[in-house]
Amino acid sequence: MPAKLNQLNKIKVGIVNYLNTKPLIFGIQHAPVAGELLLVEDYPANVARMLMEGTIDVGLVPVAVIPHLKEHHIITDYCIGCTGAVASVAIFSEVPIEKVEKVLLDYQSRTSVALAKVLLRKYWKTEPKLVDTKADYRASIKGTTAGVVIGDRALEQRKVSTYLYDLGAAWIDFTGLPFVFAAWVSNKPLPADFIAAFNEANKIGLENIDRAVAEHPYEIYDLQTYYRQNISYELTAEKRKGLDKFLGFCAYESIIKTHG
């Protein structure tokens, strides 16, 4: 039996509050399932925290937290992924990557900071100092200090930094596999009819990209390109292979860290 949900009997759904989820939000709000759920928006690290703490039942969470969940179920055929350059996840810097001495890690991210660690070590084969951040740190991206930036702030940072190393493109060059940044994950079994209706809502969103674009005028980056060429929303078998490979790297890297 699915676990008891909140008093309103609505399923609490957490979603990332970046532009890349606007088509999905459009679908969820316009689909019949809208009345069965409460939508909470926050940045990825917070959506992950809410799912771990159990204040939401399902969330579009950074995949890097999957190994930290006591129970997890990947639901739906949709995700935030890429099959080429993702545009909104990159290491930004003023010097080429081999000259970078320090990398500031985006406090809003869980997946991309782990991906940056894997790629710096295995793909670029450099060992800069890695520094966690707490608040906006983008003004500190200068000289030999680079920064991982994700989401809308990354689309802005494209106009600022001299060098941009797209982590989606680098992963694909490194592994030959697509990448999954975030997936719909529940922390308890959910009713099958809800899952089916929620899956359909995601599909409706992706069929209405033009309307999502029209509702969110944005000058900094072309959202048609972003939604149709950079972000790839289908959770395909190839993407699941990329996801498994990434989680394998993460486990291996943390073993190295734990045992020196």
Chain residues in the site for ligand ISJ (CB under 6 A): 16, 18, 20, 44, 62, 80, 86, 88-89, 109-112, 150-151, 154, 181-182
Q: How far apart are CA 247 and CA 68, in angstroms?
A: 11
Residue closer to ligand ISJ, measured from CB, 93 or 111: 111
CB of 83 to ligand ISJ, least distance (A): 12
Q: Based on CB atoms, which residue is closest to ligand ISJ, 37 or 48? A: 48
Longest dimension (CA), the chain: 56
Compare residues 99 and 174 and give the one whose CB is closer to ligand ISJ. 174
Question: What does the block give as tokens for 233?
Answer: 């929303």
Q: Which is nearer to ligand ISJ, 83 or 112 (CB)?
A: 112
Q: How would you classify residue 117: left for phi > 0, otherwise alpha for psi between -120 and 50, otherwise beta?
A: alpha
State which residue, 179 or 194, has the beta carbon closest to ligand ISJ: 179
Supply the minimum distance, in Å, between the C-beta of residue 85 and ligand ISJ.
11
Asked if 106 and 149 touch (Cβ cutoff 8 Å), the reply is: yes
Amino acid at 28: I
Q: Is residue 152 within 8 Å of residue 221, measured between CB atoms? A: no
Shortest distance, position 105 Cβ to ligand ISJ, whole Å:
10
Nearest approach, Cβ of 256 to ligand ISJ (angstroms)? 21
249 touches 118 (CB < 8 A): yes
**What are the tokens at 191?**
């009713």
CB of 118 to ligand ISJ, least distance (A): 12
Distance (Å, whole) CA 224 – CA 206:
12
Structural contact between residues 132 and 105, judged by C-beta atoms closer than 8 angstroms: yes
Kindly tell me which of 194 and 246 has the beta carbon lying closer to ligand ISJ. Answer: 246
String of b and e for 211-222 (b: at least 16 CB within 10 Å)?
ebbeeeeeeebe
**What does residue 58 show for φ and ψ, rounded to 5 degrees?**
-150, 145
CB of 7 to ligand ISJ, least distance (A): 29
